[in-house]
Amino acid sequence: MSDITQRFSTGAPQNLEQRFASRAAHMKPSEIRSLFAVASRPEIVSLAGGMPNLSALPMGMMADVVSNLVRDNGQEALQYGNGQGHPKLREQICEVMALEGIRANPDDVLITTGSQQALDLISRIFLDPQDVVLCEAPSYVGALGTFHQYEASVVHVETDDNGLVPSALAEAIKSVRAAGRKIKFLYTIPNYQNPSGVLLPATRRTEILKICREAGIFVVEDNPYGLLGFDKPSPNAMRAEDSENVIYLGSFSKTIAPGLRVGWTLVPPSLKEKLVIASESSILCPSNFTQLTISSYLADQPWRDQIASFCDLYKVRRDAMLESLEEHFPATAQWTKPGGGFYVWVTLPPEIDTTALMPKAIVAKVAYVPGTAFYADGFGSWSLRLSYCYPTPERIREGVKALGGVIKQEMASRKGFELKG
């Protein structure tokens, strides 16, 4: 140990838990992030993470975009920027959203460090401890973690193969309010939902918007997968139908590259000022460098064709997963059949605990995400999420076959135990 190390080694802080703010107790590690250390081992077929597959993105082209940006506009790209986001990129984002029926003013767009930051900002300005957020059952684990951090209560609303059930939403609102609790917003991913992969039909979107509007509840529409439909376009965004009650979240992580960390929120004008203030207090401004990289890409490259290439790549992988599930999973299992996005949701017989099953799956060299990660109330123990976006089709088939074998073995052992008992 060097003299410098000895000089500054003063021992661990004492009474650390007493020094934390009370809200720090609500900061829990994501189950998915905890899986990454294991799932990233090369011998493991990871059907767990939702990493976009960048093999279809021409890296030479991206290198040219970045090189030209620094050479031609480096002084601006490497400088502080506008707290709300670069004006040109906000205009281009409006063009992207127009593909899903949204007519937007660039002044109402706030650029964020990924749409996850936008979700954090919305939670910060709306949520007090014990406030209620309505979420799909199941729902995105990253959103649940954010709401938990702000000490909100999540009430899950029933879904089916067509997404959020409007009648169940109306009943949930009635029940929560009858208990004297305050609902702040509905959080939903209507397009190829994470984790279920289901698509909310246009008729249900209209009905859900009407229910929330009449109840005085904002809708937070998270839409990272909307342009990733395989066979047909997704319905118009909910924000296209209601500009005053929908807070829209978008991202370039799935359609360009997640490492750039550029997302946005399109907000009703009445909310913009507080969200901009909250963002500036957190990060001062989004990165000019990554914003202008995206802006240059959108201006000079065939980005619509690139999205189509991503869709082709993911469709092949989706097909490999669905075919393998049909071949290797037990007949009593059920799963969604997504028309886009990244994920398949699998429901097993209720006696199978997918969290307890995970170590056996790892031994068989395959990883997934247990269903309980996507519920705030511990539900979903017999479900799991499979991701087809990143592995090759061959690896997907290999992983699904291995996992199917593990599940069948577990079912057989339980049946034998019951017979003995």
pLDDT in tens, 180-236: 999 999 999 999 999 999 999 999 999 999 999 999 999 999 999 999 999 989 999
The reported pLDDT for the residue numbered 31 is 60
The pLDDT of residue 416 is 58
pLDDT digit string (tens) for 139-158? 999 999 999 999 999 999 99
Helix (H, G, I), strand (E, B) or coil at 110: strand
- pLDDT at position 71, please? 97
Average confidence score pLDDT of the chain: 93
**Read out DSSP for 254-316?**
TTT-GGG--EEEE--HHHHHHHHHHHHHHHSS--HHHHHHHHHHHHHS-HHHHHHHHHHHHHH
- pLDDT, residue 17, reads 75
Q: Categorize the per-residue pLDDT at 420 as very low, low, confident or very high, splitting at 50, 70 and 90.
A: very low
- Give the pLDDT confidence of 52-97 residue by residue, as tens digits: 999 999 999 999 999 999 999 999 999 999 999 999 999 999 999 9
CA distance 372 to 384: 8
Query: Per residue in 322-346, pLDDT tens?
Result: 999 999 999 999 999 999 999 999 9
pLDDT score, position 12: 72
Name the residue with tokens 């279809």. 56
Tokens of 13: 């802080």
Share of the chain above pLDDT 90, in %: 87
Residue 20 has a pLDDT of 82
Instruction: List, in order of start, the domains of the chain with CATH numbers.
Output: 26-50+305-420 (3.90.1150.10), 59-300 (3.40.640.10)
The helix/strand/coil state of 45 is: strand
DSSP 199-224: ---HHHHHHHHHHHHHHT-EEEEE-S
Q: Say what the pLDDT of residue 3 is.
A: 55
The arithmetic mean of pLDDT across residues 341-361, rounded, is 96
Q: Look-up: residue for tokens 């909910």?
A: 238
* Cis peptide, bond prior to residue 235, ω within 30 of zero: no
Q: For residue 263, give the nearest of 142, 123, 145, 116 by alpha carbon.
A: 116
Element (H, E) at 87: helix 87-98
Determine the pLDDT at residue 14: 76
If you average pLDDT over residues 3-7, what whole number do you get?
A: 57
Check pLDDT > 60 for residue 418: no
pLDDT at 417 over 50: no
Contact 260, 250 (CB under 8 A): no
